[in-house]
Structure 1
């Protein structure tokens, strides 16, 4: 796996999370480069210029928080680096995860051969219906048996970005599709019917977010949708209708 690069996104002053990740990686015999996260509480004018507020209100439904923009840029700049340095595949991790001992074997099995031709494989999900799938829609189709797990292809969004494998081709697609920020990075990747990145997930999940770590994004205001202007509400409803139609069309085409 000499061509695989491993990255951990970590705020430079967050020494406790860095130590937590170093301990886990050492126990698994993995090395990784710690990459400074973009601090959403110290965005530059150039950072803010990448935010498309009008599209965010239409697609995401609310204004993004600065910390969401910072998280987005942390991942996006790694995609830029993958292309710039010609990195074939990378394991990207956030610093608040718990890693299963099965992860190294799973990764080795995933990159040992090119079939199926995935671009991104999510190793963690925040969506309960995906984590504990009880219906075909959320379970997906098992396309490959791995060590102690299976690789599943989905036709639904995954949610969550704690850890994932991404090929350079996937990074290139995200660079093209996500050059203007309009929703959190994991949800941007989840728009598979637009960005061309088919969702894949490993189940049982080898990575989980630790609940005892406070979110660096921060609490999202519970009433963010309240008081929006009528044109914004109408644009949002039209966008959701359009997304629903295109997702169904995407599913039909892929079944065919």
Structure 2
């Protein structure tokens, strides 16, 4: 630890220690604690960072990610509910029919030149479940997190700064990215009077975001299961920043007010091509429908 300055307190020192522990857990699911010292360690009471609920989405077959996130939540004093993600590897054609899912006919992945995968369908449905919980429970706002994220230092405080700005500036908003992959070089205008928020341009990833009641309603009212595309394409379409006009015609009400934290508060634990990188959406079976005569066999991930 860096020695404290004269005006700094032990509380600030403890926060720096927490940052170090969270960073260790970002790379490793193991943070050793001697059994002889365990009895002396006390963790503060966890809370939801001034939002109604925090959800963490995780596949049951990824217990190592679940355990790592639970350890991080303990360090960050975050109370989160774990959502068992919809596993695309277990979905069948009959499941898609039962759920009345129809894939957008024109959709082709712009980077891999392939149709939508079953993993991407599972990912979308996992977020869709959370959006429904917002409406069903009458929540004002929530935070959604995926299980493969790295938190910036002082994450809690930075989230609180954003929430205070939203309240003080009385901003209208539906969704705020906490982590994302920005896909355009266009300038993103700052929100008037804000130090931490910009208007989000075309972006990928749903690593973490704050969602309001109005945002959840808009995401559901658009009936996305009738013209399904990956969730990180869906959000830019509904906020009318997507470059594909032929996809946007399927969603005439594109009025989602989408902002982003700047700088971001969450990043992936691993990037494509790095050692340890695993994608349950990209590396999965291609989705099929009634028009596919030769259906691909399901692959084990």
The interval holding the TM-score normalised by the smaller chain is 0.7 to 0.9
**Structure 2 unaligned blocks of 5 or more:** 1-48, 241-252, 271-275, 286-301
SS class of match (1:159)? strand
What's the secondary structure of 1:93's corresponding residue?
A: strand
Aligned to 1:229: none
Residue 4 and residue 56 in structure 1: after superposition, are their counterparts in 2 closer, same or farther (change >3 A)?
A: farther
Query: Per-residue deviation at 1:180?
Result: 2.2
| C-alpha spacing 1:219/1:58, structure 2 compared with 1 (3 Å) | closer
Question: When you count helix as a share of all residues, which structure comes out higher?
Answer: 1
- Structure 2 Cα separation of the partners of residues 179 and 41 of structure 1: 18
Residue 106 of structure 2 is matched in structure 1 by 57
* TM-score, scaled to structure 1: 0.74
**Is the CA contact 2:183–2:202 (under 8 Å) kept in the aligned structure 1?**
no
* TM-score normalised per structure 2: 0.63
1:92 paired residue number: 144
Aligned equivalent of 1:169, options 210, 214, 220: 214
Match of 2:192 in 1: 143
Select which of 260, 266, 272 maps to 1:207: 266
Matching of residues 13-162 of structure 1 within 5 Å: 13-43=61-91, 45-48=94-97, 49-53=99-103, 55-58=104-107, 62-112=114-164, 113=167, 115-127=170-182, 129=184, 137-146=186-195, 150-154=196-200, 156-162=201-207
- Check the 8 A contact 2:107/2:116 in 1, yes or no: no
Shift in CA distance, 58/17, structure 1 to aligned 2, threshold 3 Å: closer
Q: Distance in 1 between matches of 2:117 and 2:161?
A: 38
Per-residue CA deviations over 1:30-61 (Å, capped at 9, x if unaligned) read: 111111000001125344544323x2425867
**Equivalent position SS for 1:162:** strand
| Superposed displacement of residue 220, structure 1 | 7.7
3-state SS of paired residue (1:195): coil
- Using the alignment, how far apart are the partners of 2:162 and 2:60 within structure 1? 31
Aligned length: 211
Tell me the distance in 1 between the aligned counterparts of 2:146 and 2:107: 28
What is the CA distance between 1:217 and its match in structure 2?
Answer: 1.1
Deviation, 1:144, is 4.7
Please give the root-mean-square deviation of Cα atoms over the aligned residues, in Å.
Answer: 2.5
Residue of structure 2 aligned with 1:7, choices 38, 55, 67: 55
Mark the structure with the bigger radius of gyration: 2
CA–CA separation in structure 1 for the residues paired with 2:137 and 2:62: 27
